[in-house]
Amino acid sequence: MNSADTDRAVSLLDAAPWTVCAPMRMEAAALARGLPRPLTAGTVHRTGVGPERARRAARDGALAPDRPLAVAGVAGGLAAHLRPGDVVVADRVMTDPRIGGAGPPVRHLPAAPLIANALRRQGLTVHVGPVVSTNRLADGLGRHRLAAAGALAVDLESAWLLAGAAEAPRACVRVIADPADGRLLRPRTVTQLRSALRVLAAVGAGLAEWAAATTVRQVTLAAPRSFCAGVERAIATVERALDRHGPPVYVRKQIVHNAHVVADLRERGAVFVDQIEEVPTGAVTVFSAHGVAPAIRDQAAGRGLRVVDATCPLVTKVHAEARRFVARGDTVLLIGHHGHEETEGTLGEAPERMVLVPDRAAAETVPVTDPARVSYLVQTTLAADEVAGVVEVLRRRFPALAGPASDDICYATTNRQQAVAAVAVAVPVVLVLGSANSSNSHRLVEVARAAGARAYLVDDVSSVDPAWLAGAEAVGVTAGASAPPRLVDEVVAALRALGAREVVEHRTTVEDVHFTLPKEARSS
């Protein structure tokens, strides 16, 4: 954290006390060194080593059940790839299966990705996964047995210390002191232990950011959000092609602009390529939702590709308008962003008669052959206000300017922008789920900021920085039209784990649009 963030965290921690538990005195001292100063009284609590002392600390009231609680210290590595000094942030803490019902139940910790983000910014090597607590030092076969249960690290206290109030914010972070082939805290690992303790100081700083974010009490979901009809159609088209033809199915460019969607389809057998030349002759090939230029269609035909066209029908409409305007002799001004696949495809309809206009400045200078024969079209994923400003300039310069018969901006883009604007005026922070190359997701961030919120584009829950949430009691969440709904669910779960008790949905309209699949993808 910078100095301003540190001051803010200190004041917030004073107002909302929290506790970090460490078993050993040296662990507690290391954590305290990393916490912002001055410390809230009682922030660091030494519990003692082992399950019995952990039970006693929880039972004797030393740990307030309604106060945010983090457990931190060293641990033994179970996964072969973990090295001394690596950090494990637990997404769940479980008890050694050998103990059975004598141990606490599994504790799920959905805020783990946020803590991991904060720790990575401290320069640490961080892994997210299960931590298992046992009642004796684990060595040899014991380590292998626990690793087989799926855990990354083993300790002697976490499960018992976290067994309290189910709704209070909880966290568990362990630094590997010895690798999977060692024994927990054997004398030969003294050097590794010292290294782990140095890492714990940085862990303390990251946990302070998590604690400062546990002020969240309400989550407001903007609706509509996430997948639109065009995206659902495009994804279903690739899935249907895989089902009917089997892998590989080739997809030109990303089917939609979302890294998670692409990764999921790649796992099923889709192969994403940038150029038609990369596709084997005669292979099944899907065109993305963003559309392609006629030249690309000609290349595909020349290679004998079996094309399945997943172009969004709203983009297809813009292409048809481009052909109509060009056919009547107009210069067509396309309002859109340089390098976006949709604009490249649309411009390809008549590159000699179409000009890209990215902003108001370009609109002031764009040349045309005949000012009496000018029309404009719009990239479907833009924000309405930025388009209005460009059109205003063009109409002033070209009074005869013609436009599309109906708005080119996608209904889903407009709906999501209106929904996030309504939420952003009522919350201090808005999280927008979407990948970095998603134009409509970037516009949602811009709209939210224009409405007065601090807004951030995040690819998934692991991209959320807890420092953004410090002191916020309400957080808004939305998702771009290409972001899967499950990403929203994961973020909401993390915010609940920070203390949010109420999740409400603010709906501005109901979407009932449905697009049929391309004829090549329909069942025969």
351-388 tens-digit pLDDT: 999 999 999 999 999 999 999 999 999 999 998 888 99
Active site residue 342: yes
pLDDT digits (tens, 9 = 90+) for 68-89: 999 999 999 999 899 999 999 9
Q: Is 312 labelled as part of a ligand binding site?
A: yes
Which residue type occupies 40? T
45 marked ligand binding residue: no
172 annotated binding-site participant: no
Q: Give tens-digit pLDDT for 478-504.
A: 999 999 999 999 999 999 999 999 999
Determine the residue type at 413. Answer: T
The three-state secondary structure class of 294 is helix
Report yes or no on 230 lying in a domain.
no
Q: Please, what is the average pLDDT of the chain?
A: 91
Residue 142: the pLDDT is 72
Domain membership of residue 183 as a residue range: 3-212
Same domain for 199 and 347?
A: no
For residue range 286-305, list pLDDT tens digits in order: 999 999 999 999 999 999 99
pLDDT at residue 216 above 60?
yes
Read off the pLDDT band of 4 (50, 70, 90).
low
pLDDT at 185: 44
For residue 418, which phi and psi values (nearest 5 degrees)? -65, -40
Contact 206, 119 (CB under 8 A): yes
pLDDT for position 182: 52
Q: Has 81 been labeled as part of a binding site?
A: no
Q: Considering the chain, what percentage of its residues have pLDDT values greater than 70?
A: 91
Number of domains in the chain: 3
If asked whether residues 320 and 383 sit together in one domain, one would say yes
Q: Residue 484 maps to which CATH number? A: 3.40.1010.20
pLDDT reported for residue 178? 84
Give the span between the Cα atoms of 457 and 313, in whole angstroms: 27
175 φ/ψ angles, rounded to the nearest 5 degrees: -105, 130
Q: Do 420 and 370 belong to one domain?
A: no
Tell whether 270 is covered by a domain. no
Residue 11 has pLDDT above 60, yes or no: no
290 labelled ligand-binding: yes
pLDDT digits 0-9 by tens, 164-173:
766 789 999 9
* 96 in the same domain as 23: yes
Quote the pLDDT of residue 104.
87
Are 133 and 167 found together in one domain?
Answer: yes
The C-alpha atoms of residue 374 and residue 161 are separated, in whole angstroms, by 71
Answer yes or no: are the C-beta atoms of 216 and 498 closer than 8 Å.
Answer: yes
Residues 145 and 206 reside in one and the same domain: yes
The confidence score (pLDDT) of residue 35 equals 86
299, part of any domain: no
- Cα–Cα distance, 447 to 210 (Å, whole number): 27
331/178 Cα distance (integer angstroms): 69
CA distance 196 to 81: 16
In a domain, 331, yes or no: yes
Q: Is residue 248 part of a domain?
A: no
pLDDT at 73: 95
What is residue 432's predicted lDDT score, i.e. its pLDDT? 98
Residues 362 and 459 in one domain: no
Record the pTM.
0.90
517 located within any domain:
no
Catalytic residue chosen out of the listed positions 342, 344, 349, 490: 342
Same domain, 391 and 415: no
Give the DSSP H/E element, type plus range, for residue 488. helix 485-497
